[in-house]
Amino acid sequence: MGRRYLILLISLLLSFSAAGFVTHKYGGPIASVTIKRGDSITLHAATNGAAAYQWFKDGVPIANSNTKDYHAKNAGIYTVIAYSKEGCPSPISEPIEVKIAPDLWIIADDKTRPYGSPNPPLTFRYEGFVNGDGPSVLTHLPAVVTAPTISSDVGSYPIHVSGALSNKYTINYRDATLTITKVPLLITANNDTKYRDGQPYTKGNGVTYAGFVNGETPSVLQGKVAYSGSAIGSVDVGRYSIMPSGFTANNYQITYRPGVLDVIDKIVDMSVLKVSEARSVRVGEVYQYTLTVENKSNMPATQVQMKDALPPELDYVSIAGTTLGIASYDVSSRTITWQVGNMAANGKAVLTLQVKANMHGKIVNSASVTSAETDGNLANNQSSDSKDIDGLYIPNVFTPNNDGKNDSFIIPNLSFYADNEITIFNRWGNVVYRKQYYQNDWTAPGLNEGTYFYILKVTTNSKSDIYKGYITLLRSAVKQ
């Protein structure tokens, strides 16, 4: 009976679940088979009719292994004994060695790239080749892939490696991570300039962006710009910082850079020019001045004002017109005030003033201009005009003939010289008329036609002038 089992158990028929593996002979008569870790191989006893079986691994009985087939998962040398119905054992079978293919790890490498850039080349490495093996022993090489595109958001994404095949190695994979990082975005406050006007600075002057990728614009930012720094609330002349803030972004690492605010005095060049009419003018005759205000700078001017205080020798008549602003005359101060208002850079405005002189001689009249800004050239802020006013015009003939025309000796504008005295002589030097505070009312009563001589003394502001001349008295000749 034992002989028979011995014949039946001389060899083992092997079948296994690890596709692609074959049985090899290593080191003499012991057959071997290599499987992947985690796979199994079915060892089959070649005898028939045995009542029971006992499988051994490395000479140690395997518990609960009493069937004809045994599914081996672990490395070792396996044998089997068959038992008859009577319990007689057969000789131990021919051994077979089950080997576990060595582990080969294919490990993807972690990668990092900034948002908006292409994915870097994906790489991997091998760990576990033995006996000088290399990737050439693989029947199919692995592939490594990841899903993110150039527009994928900041975050962590898996890198998968797979697809390798081998008859010699148990292949294991370890995935990696692609980390997409934020890209720098620089937000810089624009510089600004403010003229000192007593009002605090509050607004900022916008910002400039540097660093957007993928054709993106500020629309991808969350929040809105806010400003801080020493500039906010500044009033006085000086240099201040404008610090922007207020934004967040999923894909950008935001850095803020301050701008500069310069609060400066506005420098303008206001000028005034006062010019009188060129014609001859006598006392009491209305004439005009042309006053021209100019902003000779490239800066606009505000609160432009011109003042013209009339000297005692001039009497105000009217403001004939202005090309800009509003002008008025104050009787008590005898001053024309012209509120020009705002004036554009290199702007000009003209006022026409009508006056009359109440005494003869040289009359000097000055005007001045100011603005809210600092004037860089004070030399032309004032202008004076010197006007020679002719004295009284005294006619040399009058016709007291009661025709209602030229019936009295009238000296035009004598009313401007209320303090006056006139003396009239005949040709022999006899006084025929004398009057203090003469009122233009002498009609030469009882005097014959002829030539008479006069002396007129006028006094104004403690200054006296004497006029001498002749007057021809006509009566009948003019009547005809």
**Within this chain, do residues 60 and 157 fall inside the same structural domain, yes or no?**
no
- Chain centroid to Cα 142, Å, comes to 54
Q: By the 8 A CB rule, do 376 and 296 touch? A: no
Residues 299 and 247 in one domain: no
* 18 and 35 together in one domain: yes
Give the CATH number, domain containing residue 406: 2.60.40
Total count of domains within the chain: 5
What burial class does residue 70 get, using C-beta atoms within 10 Å of its C-beta: 0-12 exposed, 13-18 middle, 19+ buried?
A: buried
pLDDT computed for residue 461 by the predictor: 74
Same-domain status, 329 and 372: yes
On the question of pLDDT at 180 being above 70, the answer is: yes
Question: Which of 202, 260, 206, 207 shows the shortest CA–CA distance to 234?
Answer: 202
**pLDDT band (50, 70, 90) for residue 478:** very low
CA distance 364 to 478: 43
Mean pLDDT of the chain: 90
- Statement to judge: residues 274 and 383 lie in one domain: yes
> How high is the pLDDT of residue 22?
33
Q: Compute the distance between CA of residue 443 and CA of residue 446 in angstroms, rounded to an integer.
A: 9
Mean pLDDT of 421-433: 95
pLDDT at 173 over 60: yes
The band of 23, judged by pLDDT with boundaries at 50, 70 and 90, is very low
Average pLDDT over residues 210-227: 96
Distance, CA of 360 to CA of 281 (rounded, Å): 9
Neighbouring residues of 476: CB distance < 8 A, sequence distance ≥ 6: 401, 449
Domain check: are 8 and 76 in the same one? yes
Of the three residues 264, 288, 306, the one that is the final residue of a domain is 264
Q: Is the pLDDT of residue 330 over 60?
A: yes
**CB distance 167 to 140 below 8 Å:** no
**Which of 158, 181, 204 is the endpoint of a domain?**
181
pLDDT at 4: 27
Q: How confident is the model at residue 29 (pLDDT cuts 50, 70, 90)?
A: low
Tokens 């209305």: give the residue: 286
Asked if residue 272 and residue 177 are part of one domain, the reply reads: no
pLDDT tens digits, 90-117: 999 999 999 999 999 999 999 999 999 9
Residue 311's closest CA among 367, 352, 370?
Answer: 367
pLDDT at 1: 32
**Range with lowest mean pLDDT among 40-49, 288-297, 299-308, 315-324:** 40-49
More confident residue, 478 or 326: 326
pLDDT score for 477:
52
pTM attached to this predicted model: 0.55
Residues 417/437, Cβ–Cβ less than 8 Å: no
Same domain, 295 and 374: yes
pLDDT band at 5 (very low <50, low <70, confident <90, very high): very low
109 and 46 share one domain = no
Show the domain range for 30. 2-100
Q: Is it the case that residue 421 has pLDDT exceeding 90? A: yes
H or E, element range at 6:
helix 2-8
144: CATH: 3.10.430
Mean pLDDT for 199-215 is: 95
Residue 17 has pLDDT above 50, yes or no: no
Which of 264, 282, 307 terminates a domain? The answer is: 264
H/E segment holding residue 477: helix 476-479
Residues 274 and 382 in one domain: yes
Triad 360, 364, 370: Cα angle to 5°? 150
Backbone torsions φ then ψ of 427, nearest 5 degrees? -70, -10
Q: Are residues 69 and 157 in the same domain?
A: no
Residue pointed to by tokens 């001349």? 469
* Share of residues in the chain with pLDDT > 90 (%): 78
* Backbone φ and ψ of 4, nearest 5°: -60, -45
Q: Same domain, yes or no, for 96 and 64?
A: yes
- What pLDDT, on a 0 to 100 scale, did the predictor assign at position 379? 95
Question: Tens digits of per-residue pLDDT, 359-394?
Answer: 888 999 999 999 988 898 999 999 999 999 888 889
* CATH assignment of the domain containing 351: 2.60.40.740
